[in-house]
Structure 1
């Protein structure tokens, strides 16, 4: 049996004051295996250590137990003493009888009994301890600092100045952190930028510092001395190596947004920006949040926000060019598009959606229509059908240098655009302008050519590299009721074709139109212009009507009657129509289309006298001319590949109404665009890009502060003048167009108009630039992620987020700053007036358990003082009131600063306001007088909240990657609050600044240098000892279940396929013991913490 020595420390009265040391000595001295037991007042002192060393040699002791304080404090001390006396340091154990016993008990008897059990259990453990030898690992002498505020800057500079390489990672485009946003610093009132920018510039030019701004940590692996860190370098969409910071790009950018970063929502910035003129690096970044909802909603992906932004800037030529990148039919879609983009417009959450189609029409009417003839030289492609799908496909293929020939059976190109839509909605000149533009790219259009008669599909396949069929859906569906064959029953498409072809059409005085789609509305409005009294019969309700609601409203305004929930059942007449018999309907459950199914109402039949009936039920494709090799659906549409639109016949593609059935113009354009991309991909041997773009959406919070501005109404032809086919909608003038464009919310921020590209001389702009990844091997990591302010919106009682003149301290700093949004003039956000009374409220969120922020944010008292003083200085006739619970002035010269504030007649009010309410254009602050308990009401112009400091956004995610602990509020936990304040509990991570907890600038800088010194000491050592008490696997017991692999938080376990067992990566193991608890077979063990030892310890405690 091992000879064990037990040494019991009194620790003054810390232990001996609660525990009967003599009784412990008497009991433990008789414990089996204990060869020597002795006590001493302070065992950690030199005499105490010498005592242990002397007894080891005198008694030939083999293992040592020291009953004292926590092992985290003096375990190294006693191990070193034992090693000097010849004992392996891992045969020394600490029995914690202070923190775990004497400090938490008042009863001496209970404390004494517990101390004996603790010591006994540790004796059993040390009896089975093995002599271990720590390993040695080399240290990678390169550091990483995460966070580019003043803490990160100071740490990085100290390490770099010691001669070691540093990688400084900052998630924003510039270093500087919150200090760069400050106007002055307390208590000296130095200009913050003046004392910070020299350090920022030094970082940017230091040969030992690699600066990675606009970057974030993606992954971290490894352990102290040898970390591997993967960094995501977010794309700024600007090549910073080429960018010279000239700002030409920002000047040309048409998008201005609220600066929610540097200017704290009080100023504006462009979509391409740098945080401030003193940014380091002084380069520009483009902010993108995806595609705007309007662009996502558009079937063709038209860059709506882009052309609206250019309209706002008065760049109509550029706006039209941008529209045409995705849609050649600007004139057409500006007039007849069903604009699904408007349905998704976020502006509708404020007032009304942007008049997107009307703005499109404006640029089509006022943009550049100069035609530059081009002659493609690439592959030959045939397109069958010159409607919007066929012509769009031809256009996009021509842009890719394909030689395209379009075959059209009718005598004019345009399809339903010229044959189906009447001129009062779509003038022929508008259609011609778009088709002329398409032809200017070398697209050849052959009209009067019927495929199946003049040419066969097979002939086209042999002559052309690919064929695209887009012949539309012209065949009308019958009503299938008795009397449909009578004279006077007209099919809608035939009727509209004759009208649009200039044929004279004779119809009677009374006309009934059956159907509820746009074609039915067009036919009804045409018949009305021909002098008829028109009634539309529709079998569902207004809500289910497929026609555009604005067309329905126009039809009714023109005197057309609409009978809803009515279905025809029979047509009466002798050779010619006389009346139509109908039945009333009610709506049942939804059908396949999602609309509620109409159900006849019994005994509700009635008759409508009429001279003509126009049937506008629906259409389907006419496909009898196609060879049988083409597969079709039961609805008579072609079957195509959903991604490529290729038919079941090789190299023949199809789209538009021929595939989808009757659809909208913009859906036809989208089909042509999609087919062109697929055809080009196939003939070029490249892959089709099918990746969906993320949908951008602005935060809802700022929307509530937007002023309601209703959309600009479209000027229209007077109703009394609508006797002919003159266009009804007259279009915006320039003032109306730019006013409407101003309403856009710039949801995606960057609208990808590419104006910045045109003015950038170094050609630094790259909108396709993707995020990149870099991997670094470092020996130590300094975490300096800083703080954010608690959101004012969460202080509902103070009107946070509701009242514009309730702001936080950082916002007030920007108002004070000469480079801020008001150039240093203090103005109210709501009306830009100078406030004459400001209430500064301390501890807003801090020391408030209701908000789970029970701590003091430490620097709030002082910056509230600073704000009040600077306000009084800038507005001499003002009144500054500071609400405070206490004033904490814990730094050098802070108390003097407080006294100065009182001398400057800053008014201090004890107590915390209960609520703030709006009174006219001012704010009423209600609080309670501390001495009398009476309510006090103070009316002021503005309120500045000294908000609580909270961990910066993303800190928790980062700590999970680093596997380091945080406290309840999310601040990083230090290894020991007094003895190891800049070290983490996980070796190799060092903490500094507000990442560890709120602190002011002087304390932050001091702590940053302390963290840097820890790194430098470690690097100077060159090698590190590795802890040998790590996990191991008994391969005879391991069943290969791999449960421990998923359990290990440090990824220190890997599976050996050849032996079907788990192995431990000793370099990564952190001795946490999770694997041992999870292992079902007992194969996972830890050196000097084996199951046998743990069971013996339990037996000793229970015995």
Structure 2
């Protein structure tokens, strides 16, 4: 594709920034990525421990993006002197994807003592290969998945490298489980994780993968103390020696707001040599000044138009954790790709009056939807696919879990094929044509999940106001897509072809 003269600056070389750079480079733009650290990948590189992710995978992906012609300026920390104002003079558009690398800290007695660090700083130093002298007893405060990872790292990693201070720059989200797992790999012999939440409420246990990680941590000897909140840090005047906790009776108040209730009189003291805080992160924008016209939300994130990722300053876009707060890797990548579409549209229409937001009708023409009718007699899924249980990936034995050795291994080929059969083909939909239906009820009878129903219109309950004139003798076809397993039995049973299986394929085109 012929190169375009337009230049685009991307602040942050994490998942959102790199995915945006990739797509813009593909359509010929000159893209420059400004990265504060010396390597690309954001917290996927700097925060995810080596025992979870081979950094060689990141190297391969980032090298492929750079090979598209993307220029990368590493070790460049933007500030007010060289920030948005200066970038606007040199570039035609800007995408802010700087993440949420500023760690939250506790404002309680003793917080200034040595030996207390944040998960952001801890994991970044571990990933750089530095040895961190945490001592033998480590307390991790937090209930998320990253805190557990850090604890597992600290208890096992015995690197013979120089110690370094616990201060560094990082990006994206850190949670408690990563910290705990990492702590186990830096030589600690006892790692304790304290969380405000109960076991049932812990963010780390909200997903199947999180529960599996939690079980792995228990096997490795990590101790958990749910429903505890720190009251104060206790030390010898210089370094922390322990933490005093209170029982936490609730994390959220009646309005659903984060408002922990700690019960006085339930104090309990735990000795430690170090404390790692994994209690949250927030964005930091030293490169944005008031004159730039970029509004922030009450949460300190950048305010954007959700449909286009455009900020309140023309030509400046933002995405990823800098906009939405800590989210998943996939969401960050998707955000970068969406921003690339918007930036391309903005630059192509800059000479017109509507140079800021993309109109809905313009967005629609960028989406190419293909619908393919699947012949009923040819539609098949693997036998008993709905009964195949999810199987955990194989892991190495406990005695081999040292340093950055990956714990989780790949499925053997036969198991990988078997697990792939669990796919429910969510891009395939059952389409109902009421004109052909004879109300025989065959689809209702054969549905294994009971997700299809016929309901007389006069027995149906609606939310909101019904403005569609319908006669009382009409029958409604109701289907719960959340329960549907795409088995296709309803289509095969239908005698008139009123139900078909159709594959939807979406392509986002640069027009």
Q: Scaled by the length of structure 2, what TM-score is found? A: 0.70
Q: Does 1:637 align with 2:301?
A: yes
Alpha-carbon offset, residue 625 of structure 1: 3.2
Aligned counterparts, 1:545-556, within 5 A: 545-547=202-204, 548-556=210-218
Unaligned 5+ runs, structure 1: 1-373, 695-701, 752-784, 795-799, 804-851, 853-959, 969-993, 996-1103
Give yes or no for the alignment of 1:542 onto 2:199: yes
Aligned with residue 286 of structure 2, among 624, 634, 638: 624
The reply on whether 1:689 has 2:339 as its aligned counterpart is no
CA 1:453–1:499: 2 relative to 1, 3 Å: farther
In structure 2, what is the Cα distance between the partners aligned to 1:787 and 1:529? 63
**1:448: how far off?**
1.3
Larger RCO (CA within 8 A; separation ≥ 6): 2
Which residue, out of 560, 566, 570, partners 2:232?
570
Task: Assess, with a 3 A threshold, how the Cα gap between structure 1 residues 708 and 578 changes in structure 2: closer, same or farther.
Answer: same
Equivalent-residue separation in structure 1 for 2:143 and 2:103 (angstroms): 14
Q: Which moved more, 1:395-404 or 1:565-574?
A: 395-404
- Structure 2 CA distance for partners of 1:802 and 1:468, relative to 1, 3 Å: closer
Q: In the alignment, what sits opposite 2:72?
A: 445
CA contact (8 A) 1:383 1:394 kept: yes
Structure-to-structure mapping, 1:358-757, within 5 angstroms: 376-452=3-79, 455-517=82-144, 518=146, 519-532=175-188, 533-547=190-204, 548-574=210-236, 575-587=238-250, 590=253, 594=256, 597-629=259-291, 630-685=294-349, 687=359, 688-689=362-363, 708-749=387-428
**What is the CA deviation profile of residues 891-932 of structure 1, one whole-angstrom value per residue up to 9, with x for unaligned ones?**
xxxxxxxxxxxxxxxxxxxxxxxxxxxxxxxxxxxxxxxxxx
Q: What do the CA deviations read for 1:1036-1086 (whole angstroms, capped 9, x no partner)?
A: xxxxxxxxxxxxxxxxxxxxxxxxxxxxxxxxxxxxxxxxxxxxxxxxxxx
Contact 1:375 1:441 in 2 (8 A): no
Q: Tell me the distance in 1 between the aligned counterparts of 2:115 and 2:474.
A: 84
What does residue range 693-1092 of structure 1 map to in structure 2 within 5 Å? 708-749=387-428, 788=438, 790-792=440-442, 801=446
CA positional deviation for 1:484? 0.8
Over 3 Å counting, the alpha-carbon distance change for 1:721 and 1:638 in structure 2 is: same
1:199-226 deviation digits (Å, cap 9, x = unpaired): xxxxxxxxxxxxxxxxxxxxxxxxxxxx
Counting only pairs closer than 5 Å after superposition, residues 168-207 of structure 1 correspond to structure 2 as none
Q: Judging changes above 3 Å, is the alpha-carbon distance between structure 1 residues 802 and 447 closer, same or farther for their aligned structure 2 residues?
A: closer
Deviation of the 1:558 alpha carbon? 1.8
| 1:536–1:563 contact (8 Å) kept in structure 2 | yes
Distance change >3 Å, CA 440–CA 570, structure 1 → 2: same
* Equivalences for residues 90-105 of structure 1 within 5 A: none
What displacement does 1:441 show? 2.1
Q: Secondary structure at the match of 2:242?
A: strand
Shift of 1:742: 1.9
CA distance 1:786–1:409, change in 2 (3 Å): closer
| Alignment partners' CA distance in 1, 2:309 and 2:276 | 34
Matches of 2:211 and 2:140, distance apart in 1: 17
1:499 and 1:586 mapped to 2: Cα distance?
Answer: 34
Q: Could you say if the C-alpha distance between residues 634 and 750 of structure 1 is closer, same or farther in structure 2, counting changes exceeding 3 Å?
A: closer
Change (3 A) 1:791 1:644: closer
What is the TM-score when the length of structure 1 is the normalising length? 0.33
Whole-angstrom distance in 2 between the partners of 1:681 and 1:466 = 11
Q: Is the 8 A contact 1:516 1:545 kept in 2?
A: yes
Please provide the CA RMSD for this pair.
3.5
Q: Structure 1 residue 469: deviation in Å?
A: 1.2
Structure (1/2) with the larger helix percentage: 1
Shift of 1:703: 13
How far apart in 2 are the matches of 1:716 and 1:706?
25
CA distance in 2, matches of 1:721, 1:627: 50
Q: Secondary structure at the residue paired with 1:563?
A: strand
Deviation track 1:496-537 (CA, whole Å, cap 9, x = no partner) reads 111111222111100000111223211111111123110011
* Change beyond 3 A, Cα 1:750–1:441: farther
Q: Work out the CA distance in 1 between the residues paired with 2:184 and 2:264.
A: 33
User: What is the number of residues matched between the two proteins?
Assistant: 394
8 Å contact 2:382–2:421 — kept in the other structure? no
Query: Shift in Å at residue 651 of structure 1?
Result: 0.8
CA–CA separation in structure 1 for the residues paired with 2:248 and 2:344: 50
Q: Distance in 1 between matches of 2:383 and 2:264?
A: 51
**Alignment-derived partner of residue 378 in structure 2:** none
SS of aligned partner of 1:645:
coil
User: Distance between the aligned counterparts of 1:416 and 1:521, measured in 2?
Assistant: 15
- Change in Cα spacing, 1:601 to 1:674, as seen in structure 2 (3 Å) is same
1:376–1:441 Cα contact (<8 Å) kept: no
Alpha-carbon separation, structure 1, partners of 2:324 and 2:134: 33
Give the 3-state SS of the residue equivalent to 1:672 in structure 2.
Answer: helix
Q: Secondary structure at the match of 2:428?
A: coil
In structure 2, the CA distance between the partners of 1:589 and 1:388, relative to structure 1 (3 Å rule), is closer
Tell me, in whole angstroms, the C-alpha distance in 2 between the residues paired with 1:418 and 1:679: 26
**Residues 375/604 of structure 1: CA separation in 2 closer, same or farther (3 Å cut):** farther
| Cα separation, 2, equivalents of 1:787 and 1:491 | 62
Q: CA deviation at 1:375?
A: 8.0
C-alpha distance in 1, partners of 2:447/2:337? 46
Which structure's CA Rg is the greater one? 1
